[in-house]
Structure 1
C-alpha cells in the first residue's frame, strides 16, 4: 500500500475514469455527513457534473486539483482555488478537501494538505484560507499548522438537513 505522502499527485487533465472516481468519492463523503455544498441524496450525474466543471476550471488554470490514491484508487482530493480578484494575487483558497470513509484516520488528510501547500508555494502564493463545518476536521487543520479565525453559527446546512456552524482558518506559508 502507498504511504499517504507518496500517493498524492496533481491532476492536470483528469480522465473520465478519474472524474467517475471523484464523483464516487464526493457521494461517499456526502453520505457520511460532510457539509461540502451538497445535500443527500447526491445523485451520481450531479456529482459527475460538478467534477466536470472542476476539470474545466483546472484546464483554464483557475484551480489546482490534487488526488490521493492507494492500491484501490482515489481515496481523497483537495482543490486549490487560484483565480481570485486582482487585489489578492498572493493568496489561494483550499476547497473540497475530501477523504473517503474507508481511508480516514490514515494520514491522507495531512498528506493532501501538505501537497496543497507545496503547490500553492510553487504558484507564488503566500496565504491560504479555508472554511470547514465545525467538526472533527478542525483538528486536522490545527494539527497542520492552520490558524483558526472564528466560527459563524448556522452558516450552512448539513447534507441530511439542519444547520451547521462553519469555522474559518488561514495559513501563512513560509519559504
Structure 2
C-alpha cells in the first residue's frame, strides 16, 4: 500500500483532474454518501458541481480543495470553506470529505482532515464546524479527531439512494487555546 500524497488543488488543477474528481464524487454518491446529491446522479452532474461551484469559489479564495493521490489515482478529497459572514470570520467549515470506496480504511480521511486543520490554523480560524449523517462511519472518525457534538437535527437530509430522511450530527472543533464565545 502506497502512502497517499496530499496536495492542495488550484482552480486550474480542477480542469486537469476533472475526470478523476467526477469519478470519486460519482462513486461516493452511488455508494450512499450523503454529500448533497441524490441518484440519479450523472458524471455531467458531477462536472457541473466541480466546474460551476467549486472552481469559482477557489478562484475567489473562499475555499480550499485538498486531494489525496495514491500514484495516479485520486483516492480522496476534502474542502475547507472559509467564506463566512463578518460575524463568523473566526470559523471555517469542512465540506465533502470523500474517499473512493476502493481506497477506504487506509487512513486517507484522517490525513486529509489533518491538512484541513493545518490550513484552518494558517487562516487563523479558531473554530472548525461540519455536519455528518448521524450514525455514519464518519461520525466516530470526527470524534477521534477531537470534534465534539453540538447537536443533532432529525430528518435533515434525504438519503442519496433510499426513500428516507436522515438525521445529521453537527460537530465542531475548537482550535483556540481559549475561546471567548
Q: What TM-score results when the alignment is normalised by the length of structure 2? A: 0.91
In 2, the alpha carbon distance for the partners of 1:54 and 1:15 equals: 9
1:173 corresponding residue in structure 2: 175
CA distance in structure 2 between the aligned counterparts of 1:110 and 1:174, rounded to whole angstroms: 20
Q: Does residue 28 in structure 1 map to residue 27 in structure 2?
A: yes
Distance of 2:105 and 2:155 partners within structure 1: 27
Matches within 5 A, 1:87-166: 87-134=87-134, 135-160=136-161, 161-166=163-168
**Residue correspondences, number:** 173
Alpha-carbon distance between aligned partners in 1 of 2:76 and 2:160, rounded to the nearest angstrom: 19
Superposed CA RMSD: 1.3
Structure 1 position 174, deviation (Å): 4.4
| 1:11 alignment counterpart | 9
Can you give the 5+ residue segments of structure 1 that lack an aligned partner in the other structure? none
Q: Aligned in 2, Cα 1:44/1:80: closer, same or farther, shift over 3 Å?
A: same
2:68 aligned with 1:68? yes
Moved more, 55-64 or 67-76: 67-76
Deviating 4+ runs (over 6 angstroms): none
Unaligned runs of 5+ in 2: none
Shift of 1:50: 0.3
Q: Whole-Å Cα distance in 2 between the matches of residues 125 and 15 of structure 1?
A: 25
Q: Residues 15 and 137 of structure 1: is their aligned pair in 2 closer, same or farther, counting only changes over 3 Å?
A: closer
Q: Which residue matches 1:81?
A: 81
Q: Distance in 1 between matches of 2:30 and 2:55?
A: 23
